[in-house]
Every structure is written in structure tokens, then in C-alpha cells.
Amino acid sequence: MYRNLLVPVDGSDLSERAMLGSIELARQLGAAITAFVAEPTPPLPAVGRTARALEMEYELHDQRTARHAESVLTRFEAHARDAGVAFRGHHAQSPRVEDAIASAAEEHGCDMIVMATHGRGVLGELLFGAHTKGVMARSKLPLLVLH
């Protein structure tokens, strides 16, 4: 039924829960995992910066986010490999995490998205945002939320 699970992760304790839960689900379903890290785009430039300074700042940002994403995906891949689950990892920079996740699911042919949530409730959603809710609004795919 479900053959390719998109699992957005960011390296947090919460995403570790998503990794382990999605691996178990994929193992039971005989599905593959497509892991995805959405990194933030560079911040807006400060006034008075030279073009070269901005270019260097953006290059450093790109290097840092790529290293972070690779680290997260490498850890996820090791867990998946140990469980015998097929794995692919991808990352992208985006100003809107929810849009990046929904786009990645479509781009990589996924048929379900698996995410973990803090379950902070209404107040927490107002304070911290709700990536899960945003993904649900942007994607037509089934969304499994691990709590």
C-alpha cells in the first residue's frame, strides 16, 4: 500500500523519534524511506555590506547547512541500514519548511509523509508554529503524525 515514506528531519530529539518510528513502520510495510532535511535560507543581508562580504557569508551559510544536513542524513541512513530498510536522503534550503516538505514528497514520488510533533497544543502552535499543520494544508498525501 505505502511504498515510499517521506520523513522530514532536522537533527533534534524529536526528529530522532521520527527516524526510529518511520524505520519500524517502513520495515513492517516493506517500504523505503526518503529522508528530507529543509535547511533555512540565508538571512537577509545587513545594510552596508560589500558584495564580496555577502557572497562569502552566503557561501559559509551554504557550507554549514550542507554539513548539518549530511550529518543528520548519515545518522538516519545508518539506523535504516541496520534495520534493512531502503533509504535515500535529500536536503534543500527553503524559507518555508512546509512548502519544502510538500514539494519534496511530490518530487521524490512519496506516498505518505511521516512526521513527529511536540503536541504543544494551541498556545504552543501560536508561539512556535506548526510545521505539521502546514504540511497537512499543503499536501494531498496521507500524513502520519508521531507523538
Q: Express each pLDDT in 11-46 by its tens digit.
A: 998 889 999 999 999 999 999 999 999 998 887 766
| Digit-coded pLDDT (tens) for 50-94 | 888 888 888 999 999 999 999 999 999 999 999 999 999 999 999
Measure the CA–CA gap between 2 and 139, rounded to whole angstroms. 16
Count: domains in the chain: 1
Q: What residue numbers bound the domain in which 106 lies?
A: 4-146
pLDDT at residue 93 in the model? 95
pLDDT at residue 139 in the model? 93
C-alpha cell at 128: 512556535
- pLDDT above 90 (res 113): yes
Assign 146 a pLDDT band (cuts: 50, 70, 90).
confident
Instruction: Say which CATH number the domain at 8 has.
Output: 3.40.50.620
- pLDDT above 80 (res 102): yes
HSE-CB at 50 with a 13 A cutoff on CA atoms is 3
Measure the CA–CA gap between 80 and 92, rounded to whole angstroms. 21
